[in-house]
Structure 1
Amino acid sequence: MNTPTVLITGALTGIGRATAFAFAREGYRVAVSGRREEAGNALAAELRALGNEAEFLLADVRFEADVRNLVEQTVVRFGRIDVAVNNAGTEGQLAPIVEQSAANYAETFGVNVLGTMLSLKHEMRVMLAQGSGSIINLSSVAGKVGIAGASVYVASKHAVEGLTKSAALEGAAAGVRVNAVAPGPVATEMLDRFVGGSEENKAGFLATIPAGRAATPDEIAQTIVFLASDKVSYLTGQSIAVDGGHTAQ
C-alpha cells in the first residue's frame, strides 16, 4: 500500500501541532497549513527531519479560494488525501451574551463553522472520487454543553457537530468517514485565555474535572490518529468527547 497522506489545518500550535507529529510517527506524509508562513515552514522542516515527507501550505480557512488551493496542492504534492483533520479554530471574544457583537460572531463562525464547512466541501470532493477517506473535525465539550460567558464559541462548536453528522451521512455509502473529537480542557494557550490567564482560576476549573487535570495536546492527537485508522472502519458520524469525565457529570 502507498504511504498515506494526512492534511491538517490550524497545525502550527497546540493540538494541531501535536497531531502533525502523531501522524508523522505513524509514517504518514503530512501536509500542514496555517496563516503564518515562517512558523509553517519551520514545522514542515521539523517533520522532514524525522524522516517524513512534509509540506507547509499557507491557507486561511475563512476563504474558499485558500481552501480549494490547499486541497488541490496537497493532491498535486502527494497524489491523494487519506485523512483530513479540520483543526483550525478560535475561541473569539469571551464575554456575557449581553456584551457580544456581530463582529465577534462573524469572526468566530468564520473560522470555526465556515472554515470547517469549506474544508469538508473540498476534502470530500477528493475523497468521494477516491472512494475512501477519513475526516476528523475538531469540536469541543462546548459542542455538547453550554458555557457561561462563551455563548458564541459554544454555538459555533454545536454547529461543527451538526456539520459532522450531516457530512458523515453524505459520505458513508462511498467509504468516506466523518467524525469529530470534542476535547475538554487541554494544556494550551487557549485554556489560559479561557480562565483569564489566572493560575488560581485554572486550578479551580481543573478541580471540577473528574480526572483532576487538563489533557495534553498529544492525548487529543492520539485520539485523532485512532479515529482516522482502519481500526474503527465502521465508525462515522460520531463525536468523541475526550474530556477527563467532564461531560459524564
Structure 2
Amino acid sequence: IAGYRDVLDRVTEPAEHTNVSPGLIRQLHATLYSHFPHEGGRWKATNKDIVERDSEGNRVGVLYRTVPATETPKAMEFSVGLYHQCLEKTIEPLLVVSCAVLDFLCIHPFSDGNTRISRLIATLMLSINGYDICRYISLERIFAQNEQAYMDALRFSVKGWHEGTHNPMPWINFFLDSVIKAYEELELRVDALQNQGSRAPKSQLIAMAIDNAKGPFSVADICIQLPTVSRELVKKVVQQKRRSGELKPIGKGRGAHWERL
C-alpha cells in the first residue's frame, strides 16, 4: 500500500511537463516495490505466459503469450513512441491511452506488478491529457469491481496482437465504459455534497465511502478509493465515527479493519 500511494501521488497530479517514457515507467515500478525486497524497475528476465483461470482459481489454459524477455525493451520503446505519435496526430487521447494500456498488458514488461502498474500508467496518461477524474475516483477500484468484464475484454482483444491482426475494440469499449462510470460516480458524489451543503468536501467524501462500504474495511481501502485524500484525514474521520458509535474496530494496528454498526 505504501509504494502504491507513493506512485499514485505522482500519477494523479503529475509534475508540469511530465513525459511518458520507458524510463519513467521503470521508475514508477521501482517506487511501487520500494518497500519490498523486490528488484523493482527492471524489465523481466524470463518469458511469461498469462494464465487463464476459472472462478475457483483453477488453470484452464493460456490467455496469451507475452513479448519475450529479450524483446521487451525494444517493444516498450516502440509502444511509447507510438503513443506519442498518435497524440501528435491529434487522435482522441482516450483512444490512444486505452490502446497504449492494451499494448502494455500484452508486452507485460515486468516479472510482477504489471496489472497494477498498467492502471497507474492509465491514470498518468489520463491526467496528462486533461482527464483529471482519477484525482477523485479510483480507476483501479472500478476495474477491480468489473473484473469479469475486464478479463473478457482482454481475452477478445489480445488475439492476434503479436501479428497486428487483433481487434482492440472490446478493450477500448471496456476502458471507455470504466472512465464513464468514474465520471458518473463523481457526479453523484458532487450532487450529494451539494445537497448536504458541505464545507469540508474531503471529509464528506470519506464519510460517504465509509457509509457505502460493504462489509469490513481498512483505512487503506478508503485511501485507494479516494486517491487525493490523506491517510491522516481518513483516520480522523474513522475515529470520529467510532466515537459516535457508527463504527467498531476489528483487530489492532495497521492491519485493523472497521465495521459499520
**TM-score, normalization: structure 2?**
0.30
Computing the radius of gyration from Cα coordinates, the structure with the larger value is 2
Greater length-normalized contact order (CA 8 Å, ≥ 6 residues apart): 1
Bigger proportion of residues as helix: 2
Bigger proportion of residues as strand: 1
**TM-score, normalization: structure 1?**
0.31
